[in-house]
Each structure stands twice: as C-alpha cells, then as structure tokens.
C-alpha cells in the first residue's frame, strides 16, 4: 500500500492507519509553535504522547528546541523514528509509558496531549516540568459538567452552565495547581484556549513553596443561580456561601474547586502574536483573531451569553460590540471572549446586563 504523507508547518509527516493523527489540530499545533518560540531558556522539550511525532518534530525543526518524543505504542514509536529522519531532525525517540518516562527525567518543557483526560499524567508531568507545562484535554463533557466522570478525573464539580467551556479550563487548571503544589511548584497561565472539542493551556512553572502557595491561593468556587443567571465567586478551599441567591432567593449551586486567576498573560500573548505573524502559519488569521480576543478578556472567572440573555428577555440581539460599548458607557468593564462570538465578560450584575439589553432591544 502506498505510504501517505501530510505537510504541516515546515515538516512532512508519514502517516499510518495504526497511529493517531488529527488534521483538525493544526490550529493547536500552530499556536504551540508560536508559544514554544516565545519560551525562554528551554533546551530540553518533551512531547510525552507524541503519536506520529508531528507536534514535537515541528518544535525541533521550526523552533530549534532539543526535543525528546515518546509514545508507548510500538507502531507510533517506529513511525516517529521514521518521521524524525524524514525531516532531518536529531531528536531522541522513546517507547515508554508516559508516566515512567516523565518520572525518571526532568525537562524544561513538557507537553501532555493524550486521548481524553490528561489527569492520569499530571503527577509525573508536574515532577518533570521545570519551566513550562502544556496540557491538552479532549474530555470536554466531563470537564464542563455534562458527565459525572469529571468528579473522578478532577476531584471537582463543574456545572453545565452557558460558560461551561471556561469552567472546563478552570477545573483543569485547578487540578494542575493541586498536582504541581505536591512538587513545591506553582504556575502562571500564559495562554488557555477552549475550542470545539478540546481545551489546551500553556503554563509557566515556578519552583518553590511560596510560588506553590501563591497558585493555590487562586483556587476557589463559582456560585451560580440557575433560576436568574446570577453568578459570583469565592476564593479559598474551605468557604462559606449563602445557600440563597441574593437576587431571587433560589438555591444557588457551587462549582469547584477551580482556578479563579488569570487565564492568559498579556505580555506572553503579544509575543506569541509576533511569532505567529512572522512565521506565516497556515492558520495565522484564526490564531491572530483568537489571541486578540484572549488579550482583551477581562480578569473575571465566568462570562455571559448575549443570545441566552436575549432569549430569556424575548428580545432580539444587537451586535455584541454595541452591547459591550453600551456597558462601558454605563461605567462597567466589558469585553468579548475567545469562547464564542456571542459571549462577553463584564463586572455588571445580571440585573444590570438585563436592563442594558432591554434598553437596546
Ligand atoms: C492524542 S494522541 C497524540 C497526538 C499528537 N500530540 C499530535 O499532535 O498528533 C495520544 C497518543 O498517546 C499515546 N499514549 C496513550 N497512552 C499512553 C501512555 N500511557 N504512555 C505513552 N503514550 C501513550 C497513544 O499511543 C497516542 O499516540
Ligand atoms: Zn437567582
């Protein structure tokens, strides 16, 4: 049978029916190249669940980090060896369980891109990652509260709200924070994306008990009222919360523990945009648009959906930018988000938002 190949970035990759490859993840791999190029002081980079090797081989060739690729599947291992020589990159290739691999070696940067949940690899990855940690999750249903296995994977309760995509990222970040602190490490999220069926985060890892304590100080809970749409949050691992919604007196629900801090670092995002721009990546326009939205996002751990609010008020939605400008004119903070074209963040309460939306209907 004729060998199939695919070209992406500056690499050509041989494919095999027996080894995972998803062309739709080019966007994520392109962002990863721009991120990896924005890292500082990275000599040793691990692609711990590498499949065809496409992501790690791109990092080696397009960025120049010293990459080790690992996959426990024999067919993947052989294909990675083939693909490294095909692309003329000098990478170590390894054929182990990712947990064994990461437990015995430390890397400046560690990438975890498994099938489904990354939870089983987070302890070993937290041990191994010295400067940067990248984590993808494709188990969005459990992360976002649509499936009960979220409790087991993340030891946290998500809620299936209209901002479930953001909640998924925050549940994942909360879990990573709790894994890193065990190793006396903390993190700063550099960029955290939610798209279609995956979430991915790029984190700066910092060593030391103080940095670890700082990270867990951002853990807490989101308080949500399904009756009126009220939402708020409270920091801490043990918290006291009023059972009743302050707006409508219904019983509120809690989601967490989850990460309430910033999802992106502005300076890093700007650097990533520069790298994206100068590299001519195939998904460049999409990446730039997404990063611009991430950069705009307010530092508030949930968002609202314009269409959902209009539906409740039985009014038709105007342009979302008009709503955001109006909220700002009224003295509130407001921004779009990268989560969806109809979502926005604001410090206005749900009642205030409804008044504004009504006045524009
Ligand atoms: C989603 S794929 C990785 C995709 C790849 N990063 C890309 O961009 O195309 C996950 C890979 O993890 C491998 N894998 C699954 N469990 C593993 C484990 N415990 N240790 C090492 N590799 C594992 C699978 O063989 C598969 O190739
Ligand atoms: Zn309420």
Burial class (CB in 10 A: 0-12, 13-18, 19+), 326: middle
SS3 of 153, please? helix
What is the model's pLDDT at position 1? 67
What is the model's pLDDT at position 297? 97
- As beta bridge partners, residue 208 has none
Which ligand 1 atom is at minimum distance from the Cα of 49? 12
Distance 70 CA to ligand 1 centre (A): 8
Q: 6 CB less than 6 Å from ligand 1?
A: no
Taking a C-beta distance cutoff of 8 angstroms, is the pair 16, 45 a contact? no
- From residue 42, give the alpha-carbon distance in Å to each of 35, 127, 248, 283: 12, 17, 52, 25
List per-residue pLDDT tens for the chain, 361 residues long: 678 999 999 999 999 999 999 999 999 999 999 999 999 999 999 999 999 999 999 999 999 999 999 999 999 999 999 999 999 999 999 999 999 999 999 999 999 999 999 999 999 999 999 999 999 999 888 888 777 777 888 999 999 999 999 999 999 999 999 999 999 999 999 999 999 889 999 999 999 999 999 999 999 999 999 999 999 999 999 999 999 999 999 999 999 999 999 999 999 999 999 999 999 899 999 999 999 999 999 999 999 999 999 999 999 999 999 999 999 999 999 999 999 999 999 999 999 999 999 999 7
Q: 16 CB less than 6 Å from ligand 1?
A: no
Distance 320 CA to ligand 2 centre (A): 24
What is the model's pLDDT at position 99? 98
SS3 of 55, please? helix
Taking a C-beta distance cutoff of 8 angstroms, is the pair 320, 341 a contact? yes
Report the alpha-carbon distance of residue 91 to residue 97 in Å, rounded. 18
Burial class (CB in 10 A: 0-12, 13-18, 19+), 127: buried
- What is the chain's alpha carbon radius of gyration, rounded to the nearest angstrom? 21
Burial class (CB in 10 A: 0-12, 13-18, 19+), 58: buried
> Which of 13, 33, 36, 51 has most ligand 1 atoms within 8 Å of CB, for mutation?
51
Q: How many Å from the N-terminal Cα to the C-terminal Cα in the chain?
A: 61
Cis peptide leading into 257, omega within 30 of 0?
yes
Report the alpha-carbon distance of residue 293 to residue 287 in Å, rounded. 10
Q: 98 CB less than 6 Å from ligand 1?
A: yes
Q: Which ligand is nearest to the CA of 95?
A: 1
**Residue nearest ligand 1's atom 26 by CA:** 51
Distance 244 CA to ligand 2 centre (A): 8
Report the alpha-carbon distance of residue 271 to residue 110 in Å, rounded. 20
What is the model's pLDDT at position 144? 80
Structure tokens at 234: 């409270």
Q: 21 CB less than 6 Å from ligand 1?
A: yes
What is the model's pLDDT at position 148? 72
Report the alpha-carbon distance of residue 288 to residue 290 in Å, rounded. 5
């Amino acid at each position: 049978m004729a060998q199939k190949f695919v070209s992406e970035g500056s690499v050509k990759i041989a494919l095999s029916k027996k080894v995972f490859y998803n062309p739709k993840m080019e966007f994520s791999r392109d962002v990863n190249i721009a991120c990896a190029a924005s890292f500082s002081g990275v000599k040793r980079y691990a692609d711990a669940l590498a499949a065809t090797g496409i992501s790690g081989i791109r990092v080696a060739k397009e960025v120049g980090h010293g990459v080790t690729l690992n996959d426990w599947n024999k067919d993947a291992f052989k294909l990675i060896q083939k693909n490294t020589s095909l692309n003329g990159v000098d990478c170590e290739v390894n054929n182990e369980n990712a947990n064994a691999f990461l437990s015995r070696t430390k890397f400046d940067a560690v990438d975890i891109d498994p099938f489904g949940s990354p939870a089983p690899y987070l302890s070993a990855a937290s041990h191994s990652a010295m400067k940067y940690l990248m984590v993808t999750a494709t188990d969005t249903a459990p992360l976002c509260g649509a499936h009960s296995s979220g409790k087991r994977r993340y030891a946290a309760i998500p809620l299936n709200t209209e901002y479930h995509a953001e909640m998924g990222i925050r549940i994942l970040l909360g879990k990573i924070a709790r894994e890193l602190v065990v190793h006396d490490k903390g993190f700063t999220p550099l960029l955290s994306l939610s798209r279609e069926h995956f979430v991915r985060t790029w984190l700066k890892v910092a060593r030391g008990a103080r940095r670890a304590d700082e990270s867990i100080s951002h853990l807490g809970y989101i308080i949500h009222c399904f009756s009126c749409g009220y939402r708020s949050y409270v920091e801490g691992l043990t918290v006291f919360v009023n059972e009743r919604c302050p707006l409508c007196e219904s019983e509120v629900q809690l989601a967490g523990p989850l990460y309430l801090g910033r999802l992106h670092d502005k300076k890093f995002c700007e650097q990533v945009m520069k790298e994206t721009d100068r590299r001519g990546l195939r998904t460049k326009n999409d990446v730039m648009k997404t990063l611009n939205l991430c950069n705009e996002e307010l530092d508030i751990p949930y968002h609202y959906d314009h269409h959902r609010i209009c539906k409740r008020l039985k009014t038709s939605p105007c342009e979302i930018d008009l709503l955001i400008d109006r909220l700002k004119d009224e003295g509130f903070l407001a921004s779009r988000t990268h989560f969806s074209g109809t979502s926005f963040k604001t410090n206005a309460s749900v009642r205030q938002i409804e008044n504004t939306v009504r006045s524009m209907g």
